[in-house]
Each structure stands twice: as C-alpha cells, then as structure tokens.
Amino acid sequence: MKTVLLTLLSAATILAAGAAPSKAEDRYADRPPVMVSPDLSAPWVLQLGRAPGIVRQNRQVVQQPQQRLRYAQPQQPDRVQTAAVQAPARRMVMRPQINPIYLPQEVAYSGSQKPGTIVIDTTQNFLYLVEKDGKARRYGVGTGKPGFEWAGTHKISQKKEWPEWRPPAEMIAREAAKGRYLPTYLAGGIENPLGARALYLGSTLYRIHGTNQPWTIGGAVSSGCIRMRNEDVVDLYERVNVGTTVEVIQ
C-alpha cells in the first residue's frame, strides 16, 4: 500500500513539473477557437491552437482573412458599363430631314404619257410613274446641279442590284482639281454612292439610282444622274422593266 502511494505521488510530481502553473484569472481568459482540418480528405479531427483553417463560430463556417485573400478572384468589371464610361464622347451630326413632300405618294396626273412611262421633272425634283385613270406614283428625287442639267427621252437599258461604281474619267479629273480623289472602281454596297439599285438610261452615263445621302433628295445635287432614296428606288425597280420609257423634262 505504501509503495502504491509513493508511485502515485511520483507521477503527480512529474505532471506538476511539466505543466504551466494555473492562475485564478485563467478561467476568464478567451479559449482558443475550435478548428476543423482544412484538408477535407483527412479525418475530421478537432484541433487546438490557431493553425490556418476553417473556424467554426456560432455554427457558421467563416474563412480566415489570410485564406480569403489567397483564394479571392478579382471581380470582373461590367463590360457594357465600362465601355459606356470609357467610350469617348461623340459629337452628334444632325442631318437635314427630308421634306415629307418628297416621300412616295399617289397623285393626280394629267400628262399625255401612257401608263408605265417614267417622267422626271428636274425643276420640281419629282419622278412620276404614270398609272391608269389619271393617276401617278410620285417620288422625290435629287437632280443635276447647275451646269449638269439635261433633258431628253431614253429607255431603261439595264437594271442592277447594288451596282458597282466606275466614275468616268471626266468626273475623276474634275473632282481631283477640287482636291477630292475618287476611286476608279467601287464595289456595290452601303458605302457605294449608287445605292441599292440602278436603272441605266440608254447608252448614256446617266442612271436613276439610290443614294447613301438621302438628305439630298429634293435638291440639285448630282452630276446629271437622278437620285432616289434607297427604299424608293427599290420600290420603283420592282415596278418597271427594261425597255421602260423615261422622259426627263426641265
């Protein structure tokens, strides 16, 4: 019995020697947080201390700041908003609006031309497609500027959709003298000054064609050709055939 007591006393002495002395205020100190191993493949072992990991506080899983900084992904900016902010301010260019009088409309017509004939009044800047019963479909057009007026009667020799443009040598030289250099060829398309359709008049260089400058309709603006809005020349294109008579009057 005495031997057993001595053994117990020795063990207690050894434990007391290795342990830190306890103080009365220790029971009021903050306890170290309870950690869970960050390696989810490892067993869920409770750990003591402040090793990096996931801290369980009030039953919520919260990441430590070190981990949040380490794994946080940079926030992607809103591309639309960024583009709107970064895009340079563009100056608004206000184009003159076409006068409604030059929009297509049915009108009374008392001319002597038979139905199906195209009549172009270069003074009033109107094109008439003569119809039956004293009526005509009227379109606004752009006509030859001063020095480029002409009159005469021709027939439509060919029709083209989105025609290419080959300005004549005289036009190229005339524009070059003004400091404006024209291409010798331009494929059909939105940027082409002949627009969406072209009706060629006999063997002349003149055409009834569309334009990418619709605000010029109603004026004397061309080098002799007859301009129409693209939507109007498409409409006229569908209504007439090769061989249609075109009468240009002043």
CA distance 6 to 31: 35
In the block, residue with structure tokens 């895009």: 87
239 tagged catalytic: no
Joined together, the tokens standing for residue 187 give 């494929």
* Active-site entry in 127, 201, 221, 225: 225
Q: Which residues contact 157 (CB under 8 A, 6 or more apart)?
A: 200, 201, 202, 203, 242
Cα–Cα distance list, 99 to 60, 102, 107, 208, 211 (Å): 71, 6, 17, 20, 16
Distances (CA, A) of 220 to 1, 140, 147, 149: 132, 12, 10, 9
Reading the block at residue 133, the tokens are 């019963």
Report how far Cα 52 is from the mean position of its chain's Cα atoms.
Answer: 51
Q: Which of 137, 207, 209, 227 is catalytic?
A: 209
According to DSSP, residue 2 is labeled: H
Residues carrying an active site annotation: 209, 225
